[in-house]
């Protein structure tokens, strides 16, 4: 972090109160970049958010090639096949979650907010023939297949999507990064067709992995994460912006085991960063060791949560 980095104080995204108490101090545990980042708990509603935070036009510097969602497949050496299988499984699991509430076909339009390198959209296009659009801070024009995505670079709520356009809007680990989650949810409601589906997956603050790791919980992910959502506050903000939650899942497509393993590493490394290549074999061995527990992941409150929502009738 540069000494010239600009910070801003902010208020609660849920109730807009500026009164808050210290909750925890996070660091960039994955890359080991220097900096301490404060999370506070709103005195009025209890929501946990980062304040002060890096201004939005400077936070993009923390989304470099070391950021997990932006890693190129070719960068994993001999572990590339395993990495590709893991990432492919996430896209397959995302489709399973979506398919619980909506059928998709060639006439369907899908928008992925925070699409990163676009693998989920490309998977949908391959399996369902849907028309795909994506939004992200950064553009990945050299990534295979990215040219087939109707891509929009920048903040979601600043894009000029037409109203009532999309059958499905997805936010896979986006909302916890958002600088104005209410405005993003309002935009999602506007661009969704009547009867369309919004899917949001975020780390779950009231989870076993947070209880185990505290400030080293991977869901803190400072400074990129601006808000930490428990079950209550995720439901509250979604419902207050005109959505009906039709299903709330205590899991997501992102593997909870990753949070269990990385939280242990973050504690062990104590803010010094983690080279994921060096820990690939222990990661796999740990997964095998915990496989009896992970079989019940969908019934346990380990790390993730997902809500499937439809627009509430006026």
Give the pLDDT confidence of 226-243 residue by residue, as tens digits.
999 999 999 999 999 999
* Nearest-angstrom CA–CA distance, 267 and 264: 5
Helices marked H in the chain:
56-59, 80-99, 119-128, 181-191, 208-213, 231-240, 256-269, 280-289, 291-294
* pLDDT (mean) for 248-257: 95
Report, as an integer, the average pLDDT of 99-114: 97
**Would you place residue 140 in the very low, low, confident or very high pLDDT band (cuts 50, 70, 90)?**
confident
Alpha helices by DSSP H, 19-77: 56-59
Domain ranges of the chain: 7-311
Number of Cβ atoms within 10 Å of the Cβ of 239: 15
Where residue 302 falls among pLDDT bands split at 50, 70, 90? very high
Could you report the per-residue pLDDT of 198-229, keeping only the tens digit for each? 999 999 999 999 999 999 999 999 999 999 99
How far is CA 81 from each of CA 87, 88, 184, 258, rounded to the nearest angstrom? 10, 10, 35, 18
DSSP 3-state of 168: strand
User: What is the pLDDT averaged over residues 297-303?
Assistant: 90
Q: Answer yes or no: is pLDDT of 70 > 50.
A: no
The per-residue pLDDT for 204 is 98
Torsion of CA 211, 17, 175, 275, to 10 degrees: -50
pLDDT at 23 over 90: yes
Query: Pick the residue with more confidence: 101 or 278?
Result: 101
7-311: CATH superfamily: Vaccinia Virus protein VP39 (3.40.50.150)
């Amino acid at each position: 972090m540069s000494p010239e980095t600009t910070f801003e104080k902010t208020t609660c995204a849920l109730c807009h109160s500026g009164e808050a108490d210290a909750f925890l101090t996070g660091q960039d545990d994955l890359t080991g970049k220097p900096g301490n980042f404060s999370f506070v708990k709103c005195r009025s509603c209890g929501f946990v958010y980062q304040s002060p935070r890096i201004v939005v036009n400077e936070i993009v510097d923390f989304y470099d090639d070391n950021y997990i969602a932006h890693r190129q497949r070719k960068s994993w050496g001999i572990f590339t096949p395993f990495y590709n299988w893991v990432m492919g499984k996430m896209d397959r699991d995302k489709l399973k979650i979506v398919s619980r509430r909506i059928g998709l076909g060639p006439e369907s339009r899908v928008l992925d907010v925070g699409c990163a390198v676009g693998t989920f959209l490309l998977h949908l296009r391959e399996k369902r023939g849907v028309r795909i659009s994506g939004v992200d801070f950064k553009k990945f024009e050299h990534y295979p297949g990215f040219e087939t995505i109707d891509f929009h670079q920048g903040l979601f709520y600043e894009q000029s999507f037409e109203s009532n356009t999309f059958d499905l809007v997805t936010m896979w680990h986006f909302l916890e990064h958002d600088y104005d989650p209410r405005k993003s949810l309002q935009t999602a409601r506007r661009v969704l067709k009547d009867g369309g589906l919004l899917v949001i997956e975020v780390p779950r603050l009231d989870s076993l992995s947070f209880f185990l790791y505290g400030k080293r919980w991977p869901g803190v992910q400072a400074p990129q994460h601006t808000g930490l959502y428990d079950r209550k506050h995720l439901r509250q903000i979604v419902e207050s912006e005109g959505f009906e939650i039709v299903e709330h899942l205590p899991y997501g497509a992102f593997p909870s085991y990753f949070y269990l393993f990385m939280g242990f590493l973050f504690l062990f490394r104590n803010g010094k960063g983690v080279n994921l290549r060096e820990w690939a074999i222990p990661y796999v061995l740990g997964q095998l060791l915990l496989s009896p527990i992970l079989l019940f992941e969908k019934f346990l409150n380990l790390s993730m949560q997902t809500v499937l929502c439809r627009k509430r009738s006026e």
